[in-house]
């Protein structure tokens, strides 16, 4: 993975925390990254080039009016006033290459001087075993602070550890061993054949990123929510609020007028145009 800076720019060394979406159902992590970039007045400082990410290109996603600046698959934005770097990922990883991508990302972030990585992702509502909507959207987390994935600071915010995480369970242990270089070729073949079918959670992109970032000695916190495919804007707002709580950013953060999130220009067409009323 190579970082290509914008002309005259570089990653700010004072931005010790980095936010990274892990692509999943509903694309909630990406929507949250959009909100944070747009609302915090973040500046694009460069992009990342990785052979495992599918190429894509689009128009400027955040300017009030499109300026013709190209949007690329992996971009890095800095918000110095919040000591925060945000990576936005706009296209998926090539099928079967998630482990390589996670390894490359962990190598890059470990060498960039970042101290805390926050991974944002979503989980399939259909996989939720114990549904509890009594208090609205429930935020789940997974942390490298303790070996069992718990983190006292997250518990104090009222969030629940992802119950399906068990570091001794076969598939989670496989990811950990893989990240630490303790897996043989026979292990890889036997486990990967059954990984997705037997363990939904360990097969998701956030799990691979968590394992490889943790193996590099980085502090990692995954923030997760359950959702379904469709319009997940409301889920993105709530997960963005949770991110600000974790970061202890006083609301409203810099650039958010009146405490309201600044919706990026690209969202105007994210779900297509409204239906033609003449059909009703």
- Tens-place pLDDT, residues 163-208: 889 898 888 988 999 999 887 655 554 555 555 545 788 889 999 9
What is the torsional sign of CA 154, 160, 162, 165?
positive
State the pTM of this model.
0.88
Least confident of 47-56, 96-105, 109-118, 251-260: 251-260
Backbone angles phi, psi at 132, to 5 degrees: -140, 100
Helix (H, G, I), strand (E, B) or coil at 89: strand
Tell which residue, 159, 60, 71, 72, has the closest CA to residue 118.
159
**The CATH number of the domain covering residues in 2-164+218-267:** 3.40.50.10900
CA distance 267 to 280: 26
Q: How many CA atoms lie within 13 A of 244 on its CB side?
A: 22
Residue 201 CA to residue 198 CA, distance in Å, equals 9
The pairing of strands 160-161 and 140-143 is parallel
Q: Where are the domains of the chain?
A: 2-164+218-267
- Tell me the C-alpha to C-alpha distance, in Å, between residue 213 and each of 42, 112, 116, 117, 130: 24, 13, 10, 8, 29
84-127 confidence digits (pLDDT tens): 999 999 999 999 899 999 999 999 999 998 999 999 999 998 87
């Amino acid at each position: 993975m190579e970082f290509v800076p914008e002309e005259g720019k570089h990653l700010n060394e004072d931005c010790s925390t980095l936010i990274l979406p892990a692509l999943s159902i509903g694309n909630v992590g990406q929507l949250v990254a959009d909100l944070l970039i747009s609302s915090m007045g973040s500046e694009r400082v460069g992009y990342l080039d990785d052979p495992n990410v599918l190429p894509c290109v689009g128009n400027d996603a955040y300017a009030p009016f499109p300026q013709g600046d190209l949007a690329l698959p992996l971009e890095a934005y800095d918000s110095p006033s919040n000591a925060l770097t945000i990576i936005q990922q706009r296209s998926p990883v090539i099928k079967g290459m998630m482990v390589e991508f996670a390894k490359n990302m962990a190598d890059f972030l470990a060498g960039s001087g970042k101290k805390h990585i926050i991974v944002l992702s979503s989980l399939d509502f259909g996989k939720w075993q114990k549904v509890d909507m009594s208090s609205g959207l429930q935020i789940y987390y997974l942390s490298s602070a303790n070996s069992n994935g718990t983190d006292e600071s997250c518990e104090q915010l009222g969030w629940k550890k992802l119950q399906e995480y068990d570091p001794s369970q076969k598939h989670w242990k496989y990811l950990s061993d893989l990240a630490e270089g303790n897996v043989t070729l026979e292990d890889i073949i036997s486990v990967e054949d059954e990984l997705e079918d037997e363990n939904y959670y360990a097969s998701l992109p956030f799990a691979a990123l968590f394992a490889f970032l943790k193996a590099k000695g980085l502090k990692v916190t995954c923030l997760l929510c359950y959702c379904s495919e469709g319009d997940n804007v409301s889920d993105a707002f709530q997960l963005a609020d949770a991110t600000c709580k974790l970061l202890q950013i006083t609301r409203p953060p810099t650039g958010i007028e009146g405490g309201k999130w600044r919706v990026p220009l690209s969202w105007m067409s994210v779900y297509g145009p409204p239906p033609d009323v003449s059909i009703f």
